Structure 1
């Protein structure tokens, strides 16, 4: 079965009989799917195309009806399949005449003249009229007509050229007359008809056609005939009676050779074809950081599609990021005008006139223009053709958003190579055997080079010239961050990652350049505009302007709104820049950054912990900082900044900033307490405790000891926990709030050690202090702990009473303690045999824990629900909850996971 689109839409059976399609819109559905053969077309796209951008309310149902009817009539290797998010028509390319036409023309390009004539005639015979001639609506037809019609005319021209070479010019005349009548200003067609008339003895007709066309060009376009038509005229005047073996062509072919060892990029190449080919006046932008391989990608794609641009390919390196000044667009234009056949005396003097000449020479032609390394839209704009048939591809480190806005350019970001392609690039340089000997070293080398093609090629060149080196030896050298950039440079050529980044840096305006230097003091791989503002001591609005400038230059990447990341090699380059700043300036900027993180972390801690007394104002209060007004906002901020906060803590420790150290450690402990991450809490408490002790700050030491004690208790290290809490109580020194916290923690630790009577005594003592200071929240926590003690003493009725009183004491805002108390209520109900009430409490606790991001309480509730379900419904009902608890325990690196693993084992619950 075949689908014909080159004329009215037809469906033809394997026997050659037309198949009735019915409704006109059904033909549109078939055509839209056939044009995307073997590719999914979304339902939304089909609705848009079939109803010309305005689908009525009932369109979806109508589309489904058309799909169902088409499925009934399709057969013979062509099928219509539903595949999210829409539909796909499957079949061979021969099944669609448009694709068969393209394949025949492609085969003809590489064929000898006799065979090429047969192939081109077979291809042109597939045309039965205008493309999609009977498809209602314009959207689909306009999307494909220009591209296919251009390919048809190119095939007509190529057929004429091949017949000229075979001395069969007479066969060309009838067809060319029709084409010229339809498109009288297409000079390539006119030139061939002039030659065909001349070589068949009709010189007068040939001359009359030339003069008529020259008049129309002058009248309608204001231009003279181009080189190809002028050459045809000269041939007639000279009286050459024999067609040349190959007609003289002034089609420029300026594309440089492709880069050897080009690998991967199939997704990007496909995106370029889909975004640009078949579009009128298409402009594509390949944008990406230095060394990412934009030029190599552009050349690979340009060589692939060069055959679709029979009037030539123009190329210029605009040198926007060279050590020298960027190329003046006048210079580029003069080069293009010479390539298009003008002599120096014919080239206009000023830029505007040169651009007008350039557009005139390209009028009606199909030329590919590749503008490499553009610095700005102003440099590119004079080099844009006026012809809708031309295509322009621009590469730049800058985003050139102005071209997107004013010229409708399509921007495609070029990312670093995926891991597999990076390894293939090294294999192309070093040979597969050498790569396969050290796979782990190869993988690390790719990462140390940020998977940037430039860095990988330099690394590969160094290894290729030193065959006795192991890949691991270079990896060992590159691990040293101090020398990595110099190791990835070619000093003798002035090339490399450092040189490429230096050029981009030098072009930055002062404010952005100053921020870029300051980024060398930031320890992480990403940051937001508030942290950037702290580094410069400016407001966040100004910081955002500078960050956007850096992102525009592809020195940073905006990974999420208002959050910017950088490649590791860029990070090392900023370290290099920062090293040239004064020590005093660097110290001040680093202190401002630490105080920014500390200030915001302290405000976030207040939402995550009870009884938080804020730290005193920082030495350097940030000019701008995010307002965190809820528990969820605080948890989200900590989650985003966890890595940066950890690195900031390392800076404080290494710099001997003891007060900042214990305060940052305490803030991070609050976050990990919410997440249930005990091992990280243990390390943080010890770091903060050491700093507090070295300061001689007893209050800070007691606070950290309390946090340490609760962590040790959760880890089952009760003796150490009791010791820490006892020491904290001794340091409280009349501070009733701190004394209360110490007693509460001590009671918790004694309970964890099953010293239940003593635990009950301490908790009751703590309750008296809580009543004395009027602390309802701590009373609630203590009553929950008391309920747990009573549960262990098998007094569930009393436990249930205290847990209920605890819930009534909590303020309205939910907290981690709410979740723990709901778990206690469930345990009391379970011990009393009230399974339904237990499940209700556990599930309420689970929902609240998930809402608060408390993964430890989530694990406890999942496990408890599983245990209740096991008793009432069996192990199969319990297993999903046990599995969820197991995964959470494992993520938190807790030994409880081992116990659950045994419960989840099939051997633990044999089939009955």
Structure 2
């Protein structure tokens, strides 16, 4: 079976019968897959190609339908398979006319004239019209038509040259006339037609073709005929009947010397070898400044240089130098000279130079290395037009356009693994010096972000100072204010800061302004909403700027709509922020953004929430958190940033923002059962509130501090803290209620049961007074726990069930989970083990749903205790092990007591 694309798309059976394909989109799917024969085409790329970059909502289903129909008609060695992340058409290259054409043209290159004529004639006979003539849309066709048309013209030119040498000029006239009619300004074709007509005795026609072309060149391009066409004209005038042999130019060898001390990168080298198999491959290596793109590409190029006997071309396109990027014309002129053209033979216009370049590379195997490309537009004129050549491009920009339009294969070069980074230092300093200070070397590697440029500079500094220890340089680099300057080579104007500065200067103003403002953000990652707050713009514009920074490899999109930066980039943005205007306003907007969203999230996690008053800078854009799960996910994602924002607020004297952020984080840690971090937050919050003179805010933290201290077994401190909270809360009945409830809890934990009961009853009176049903339920639950400790399970069960009935009409909450546990405990004391187990399991299910790890631990332990009573220790052990893991994660005081219930060997295996 054959697939024909050089004209209308055809599927032909082994017997030569055409196979009906049906829908136009189906022909497009077949063409897109056939052009990537034996290579996987991702589903997303296929959708983009088939629907011209704008697939409708139903496109995926339609594509699957076309794939299914194509599978029904494919046979005889051609198959369509599903391979992640898309599909692959498999078969021999000869099954697709495009590849038969390319292979025939390539094989003619070194063949004798007679054989070359036969192969070129066969190749050109495969053309039945324009490439993919009946494919709707442009994207698939544009990806290949220019290259294939160029190769067809090169084949026509080569066929004419070979026929001239065989004295068969008359056989060349037909193909040349047709080609010149379609491309009347392509001088190599016109020159050959002039010669073919001359050598078949039709001098008048030859001169007419020359003069007609000369006039069109003057009228349309304002140029005179080039050397090749002028030579053909002189041949006609001189009556020269002897065909001239066209000699090939020299084989250039322009690859620069490899970097000394190249280390590692074996996965990347293997990836390049896998990606760049086959003809006309384009490898695109992208990554941040100093990551080692050029070194990697150069190492691989030297490895494979022998596979390109017709030479290697290299040019530094200077896309990120202090000066302007290299003009593609300058690069092309250099390449044309290297390929043997004299200056007088080189065309004037870029398009004509590119055509000459493609013609000279036709049929050759040449490696083309384009280093430091700024844009796809800079690269595109330097791409060969025929198979057999391979192109390597390096860039700090992603150059997605080359991937989409030219089929380039992109490899994102990352920083070195730690062991390879140490090897790079060892190459500069010697292994003995590295092995003498392993800890200092490990820290140096991380301070350099495992970035090869930074590591080479650090190695050079140490190598030129043999008396320095590695630790001495580490001590210097620990100073964040001077780390970038320590990683510079001032005399050469090179280094991390210089490299980043060039990338920064090339940014559009909006993205540059965001990069400066990122110096105010204390974290290593952020989303588009935080970026919008920094710039006081909408989130859509912020996303555009973030994508620009990611395109320039100054940021990395770690997850969708979330961007991270290397530590050295973070320090660079801090330096930029020093000279930024409106620093205070931007920082306040960032703090208010985090505070506003954190307060929204807190409302989903806490049982009793008073929203803060609207912040001074209410964010225009923010994530919508409409559920408990969404709030918990947001807190988990932003926990580090919120902690750093709290530090910034404290250092900047934003004390109200500081205690409010601390309260929001406390709600998150409370829900997760993280008592240790709660302890620190409550102290920070209470100190900030005290400094502000806000007694009620201080009381809010002291009552939380008390319950946290109680959970950690520090009971006298807990009682003292909650007592002080109750004193400060006077005058605010809601806050007084919370303080009394927490004081009662702490007194109960300290076994001061009578006073605990008295305090809780006082809290219950206040709860009824303010009409807070949920607080009444929580206090009733606390009262039930006191009665349980007094060995009054029937009375305890009555209060716990009353609390449970109050919770049934409210949204799920932590207090609800605690009450289910209390009902279970009372039932267990009364010997009603099945009822106890039912309530413990209901409590566990709710705790898991709420993400309350503390209550999960309590319920697992309680279930284990009931199962031990009713079934035996073996049934209890899995629950005890889970509880013990949670206890230890939460650093709870009961962990050792629970561990004593387990067989040490079982515990060791279960916790490993």
**TM-score, normalised relative to structure 1:** 0.73
2:852 counterpart residue number: 854
Partner residue of 1:626 out of 614, 619, 622: 622
How far apart, in 2, do the equivalents of 1:570 and 1:752 lie? 50
Counterparts of 1:890-901 in structure 2, within 5 Å, are 890-898=888-896, 899-900=898-899
Residue 492 (1) aligns with residue 491 (2): yes
Following TM superposition, by how much is the alpha carbon of 1:880 offset from its aligned partner in structure 2, in angstroms? 2.9
Over residues 597-635 of structure 1, what are the superposed CA-to-partner deviations in whole Å (9 max), with x where a residue is unaligned? 2222222222222332222232x3134242544343222
Query: Aligned to 2:713, what secondary structure does the other structure show?
Result: coil
How far apart, in 1, do the equivalents of 2:692 and 2:397 lie? 50
Unaligned runs of 5+ in 1: 1-38, 46-52, 62-82, 87-129, 131-225, 229-246, 349-353
Contact 2:534–2:590 under 8 Å retained in 1: yes
1:719 counterpart residue number: 716
How far apart, in 2, do the equivalents of 1:767 and 1:907 lie? 45
Contact 2:588–2:617 under 8 Å retained in 1: no
Residue 444 (1) aligns with residue 443 (2): yes
1:841 counterpart residue number: 839
Residue 577 (1) aligns with residue 573 (2): no
Over residues 645-673 of structure 1, what are the superposed CA-to-partner deviations in whole Å (9 max), with x where a residue is unaligned? 11111122222332222222212111111
Following TM superposition, by how much is the alpha carbon of 1:359 offset from its aligned partner in structure 2, in angstroms? 4.2
How far apart, in 1, do the equivalents of 2:712 and 2:890 lie? 12
Following TM superposition, by how much is the alpha carbon of 1:424 offset from its aligned partner in structure 2, in angstroms? 4.7
How far apart, in 1, do the equivalents of 2:706 and 2:84 lie? 54
2:107 counterpart residue number: none
1:343 counterpart residue number: 343
- CA distance change for structure 1 residues 677 and 329 in 2, over 3 Å: closer, same or farther? same
Counterparts of 1:154-193 in structure 2, within 5 Å, are none
2:267 counterpart residue number: 266
How far apart, in 2, do the equivalents of 1:549 and 1:640 lie? 23
Residue 398 (1) aligns with residue 394 (2): no
RMSD over aligned Cα, in angstroms?
A: 6.6
Query: Aligned to 2:519, what secondary structure does the other structure show?
Result: helix
Contact 1:264–1:421 under 8 Å retained in 2: no
How far apart, in 2, do the equivalents of 1:748 and 1:54 lie? 59
How far apart, in 2, do the equivalents of 1:421 and 1:252 lie? 37
Following TM superposition, by how much is the alpha carbon of 1:479 offset from its aligned partner in structure 2, in angstroms? 0.7
- CA distance change for structure 1 residues 56 and 476 in 2, over 3 Å: closer, same or farther? closer
Contact 2:659–2:688 under 8 Å retained in 1: yes
Query: Aligned to 2:844, what secondary structure does the other structure show?
Result: helix
- CA distance change for structure 1 residues 256 and 696 in 2, over 3 Å: closer, same or farther? same
How far apart, in 2, do the equivalents of 1:909 and 1:512 lie? 53
Contact 2:823–2:836 under 8 Å retained in 1: yes
Query: Aligned to 2:544, what secondary structure does the other structure show?
Result: helix
2:290 counterpart residue number: 291
2:134 counterpart residue number: none
How far apart, in 1, do the equivalents of 2:708 and 2:486 lie? 46
Q: Which moved more, 1:656-665 or 1:517-526?
A: 656-665
**TM-score, normalised relative to structure 2:** 0.73
How far apart, in 2, do the equivalents of 1:322 and 1:372 lie? 12
Counterparts of 1:99-118 in structure 2, within 5 Å, are none
Query: Aligned to 1:733, what secondary structure does the other structure show?
Result: coil
How far apart, in 1, do the equivalents of 2:723 and 2:559 lie? 47
Query: Aligned to 1:284, what secondary structure does the other structure show?
Result: strand
1:881 counterpart residue number: 879
Unaligned runs of 5+ in 2: 1-38, 46-59, 69-82, 87-125, 127-225, 229-246
Q: Which moved more, 1:556-565 or 1:769-778?
A: 556-565
Query: Aligned to 1:847, what secondary structure does the other structure show?
Result: helix
1:553 counterpart residue number: 552
How far apart, in 2, do the equivalents of 1:421 and 1:322 lie? 31
Query: Aligned to 1:387, what secondary structure does the other structure show?
Result: coil
Q: Which moved more, 1:449-458 or 1:592-601?
A: 592-601
Following TM superposition, by how much is the alpha carbon of 1:748 offset from its aligned partner in structure 2, in angstroms? 0.8
- CA distance change for structure 1 residues 41 and 400 in 2, over 3 Å: closer, same or farther? closer
How far apart, in 1, do the equivalents of 2:595 and 2:883 lie? 33
2:178 counterpart residue number: none
Query: Aligned to 1:688, what secondary structure does the other structure show?
Result: helix
How far apart, in 2, do the equivalents of 1:262 and 1:629 lie? 47
Following TM superposition, by how much is the alpha carbon of 1:433 offset from its aligned partner in structure 2, in angstroms? 2.4
Q: Which moved more, 1:799-808 or 1:485-494?
A: 799-808
Following TM superposition, by how much is the alpha carbon of 1:857 offset from its aligned partner in structure 2, in angstroms? 1.5
- CA distance change for structure 1 residues 657 and 274 in 2, over 3 Å: closer, same or farther? same
Residue 385 (1) aligns with residue 383 (2): yes
Residue 519 (1) aligns with residue 515 (2): no
Following TM superposition, by how much is the alpha carbon of 1:549 offset from its aligned partner in structure 2, in angstroms? 2.0
Query: Aligned to 1:903, what secondary structure does the other structure show?
Result: coil
Query: Aligned to 2:902, what secondary structure does the other structure show?
Result: helix
2:318 counterpart residue number: 319
2:636 counterpart residue number: 639
- CA distance change for structure 1 residues 57 and 531 in 2, over 3 Å: closer, same or farther? closer
Contact 2:760–2:783 under 8 Å retained in 1: yes
Query: Aligned to 1:615, what secondary structure does the other structure show?
Result: coil
Counterparts of 1:627-706 in structure 2, within 5 Å, are 627-632=623-628, 633-706=630-703
Following TM superposition, by how much is the alpha carbon of 1:641 offset from its aligned partner in structure 2, in angstroms? 1.5
2:813 counterpart residue number: 815
Query: Aligned to 2:653, what secondary structure does the other structure show?
Result: coil
Partner residue of 1:804 out of 801, 806, 828: 801
Contact 2:707–2:746 under 8 Å retained in 1: yes
Following TM superposition, by how much is the alpha carbon of 1:638 offset from its aligned partner in structure 2, in angstroms? 1.6
Query: Aligned to 1:500, what secondary structure does the other structure show?
Result: helix
Residue 746 (1) aligns with residue 747 (2): no
How far apart, in 1, do the equivalents of 2:568 and 2:610 lie? 42
Following TM superposition, by how much is the alpha carbon of 1:417 offset from its aligned partner in structure 2, in angstroms? 2.6
Q: Which moved more, 1:760-769 or 1:520-529?
A: 760-769
How far apart, in 2, do the equivalents of 1:671 and 1:56 lie? 45
Following TM superposition, by how much is the alpha carbon of 1:900 offset from its aligned partner in structure 2, in angstroms? 2.8
Query: Aligned to 1:527, what secondary structure does the other structure show?
Result: strand
1:829 counterpart residue number: 827
Contact 2:328–2:382 under 8 Å retained in 1: no
How far apart, in 1, do the equivalents of 2:285 and 2:64 lie? 40
1:15 counterpart residue number: none
Contact 1:427–1:435 under 8 Å retained in 2: no
How far apart, in 2, do the equivalents of 1:339 and 1:42 lie? 38
- CA distance change for structure 1 residues 821 and 450 in 2, over 3 Å: closer, same or farther? same
Contact 2:881–2:907 under 8 Å retained in 1: no
Contact 1:285–1:409 under 8 Å retained in 2: no
Contact 1:816–1:852 under 8 Å retained in 2: yes
Query: Aligned to 1:558, what secondary structure does the other structure show?
Result: strand
Contact 2:477–2:486 under 8 Å retained in 1: yes
1:501 counterpart residue number: 500
How far apart, in 1, do the equivalents of 2:41 and 2:905 lie? 45
Counterparts of 1:216-615 in structure 2, within 5 Å, are 250-260=250-260, 261-267=262-268, 269-271=270-272, 273-274=274-275, 277-278=278-279, 282-340=281-339, 341-348=341-348, 354-363=349-358, 368-377=367-376, 379-385=377-383, 387-389=385-387, 390-405=389-404, 407-410=405-408, 412-430=410-428, 433-434=431-432, 436-437=434-435, 438-581=437-580, 585-615=582-612
Query: Aligned to 1:258, what secondary structure does the other structure show?
Result: coil
Contact 1:435–1:442 under 8 Å retained in 2: no
- CA distance change for structure 1 residues 564 and 627 in 2, over 3 Å: closer, same or farther? closer
Following TM superposition, by how much is the alpha carbon of 1:58 offset from its aligned partner in structure 2, in angstroms? 13
2:223 counterpart residue number: none
Query: Aligned to 2:794, what secondary structure does the other structure show?
Result: helix
How far apart, in 1, do the equivalents of 2:421 and 2:444 lie? 9
